[in-house]
């Protein structure tokens, strides 16, 4: 009886330790960046079945991608303070939303090809710090890709 209790306790401890690492279940590469004012190309790897859910620009403008109508040739323009943001849905297979999603902003672009998120950040000559938060969702609770770009 005592051995059974120890085995059950060991299993529970194992689940507790594995459960503490939920923050990075979605990412196969680093997902938080603090970069200088120069231009950057970043690539973030995610687990299978993840999509960009929200994009927040400078902490104020939130663009919800999950609720937008899918289009194959038109772009959807979303104002974001002084920065413009436009979302392209390039869906090759209408039953699979994750084929390609492209988000284009005034100073950034994000190409979501399923397991990889390709992020381009332009040089920051705006005179202020920039923040870009990309929420990724899927089978488990969504997590964020966070990019903070310093001003010159």
Hey, what are 77's tokens? Answer: 């323009």
C-alpha span between 71 and 92 (Å, rounded)? 11
Q: Are 103 and 109 in contact (CB under 8 A)?
A: yes
Token readout for 30 is 């680093």
The pLDDT value given to residue 21: 46
For residue range 79-100, list pLDDT tens digits in order.
Answer: 545 455 555 554 444 445 545 6
User: Where do the domains of the chain lie?
Assistant: 24-149
Fold of 24-149: Immunoglobulin-like (2.60.40)
Mean model confidence pLDDT for the chain: 71
- Provide the 10 A C-beta neighbour count for residue 18: 10
Nearest one of 41, 42, 87 to 61, comparing CA atoms: 87
- 3-state SS assignment for residue 95: coil
CA atoms of 148 and 132, how far apart (whole Å): 7
Q: pLDDT per residue over 108-127, tens digit each?
A: 888 887 788 999 999 998 88
- C-alpha to C-alpha distance for 151 and 119, rounded to whole angstroms: 18
Cα distance between residue 23 and residue 30, in whole Å: 11
More confident residue, 86 or 44: 44
pLDDT digits (tens, 9 = 90+) for 127-137: 889 999 888 87
Q: Which is more confident, 44 or 97?
A: 44
Rank 31-45, 90-104, 131-145 by mean pLDDT and report only the highest: 31-45
């Amino acid at each position: 009886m005592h051995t059974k209790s120890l085995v059950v306790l060991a299993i529970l401890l194992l689940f507790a330790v594995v459960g503490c690492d939920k923050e990075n279940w979605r990412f196969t590469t680093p997902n938080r960046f603090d970069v200088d004012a120069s231009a950057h190309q970043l690539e973030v790897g995610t687990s299978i079945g993840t999509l960009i859910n929200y994009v927040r620009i400078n902490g104020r403008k939130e663009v919800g991608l999950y609720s937008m109508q899918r289009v194959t040739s038109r772009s959807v323009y979303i104002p974001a303070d002084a920065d413009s943001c436009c979302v392209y849905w390039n869906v090759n297979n209408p039953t699979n939303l994750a084929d390609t999603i492209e988000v284009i902003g005034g100073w950034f672009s994000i190409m979501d090809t399923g397991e990889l998120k390709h992020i381009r950040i332009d040089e920051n000559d705006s005179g202020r710090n920039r923040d870009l938060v990309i929420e990724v969702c899927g089978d488990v609770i969504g997590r964020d890709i966070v990019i903070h770009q310093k001003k010159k």
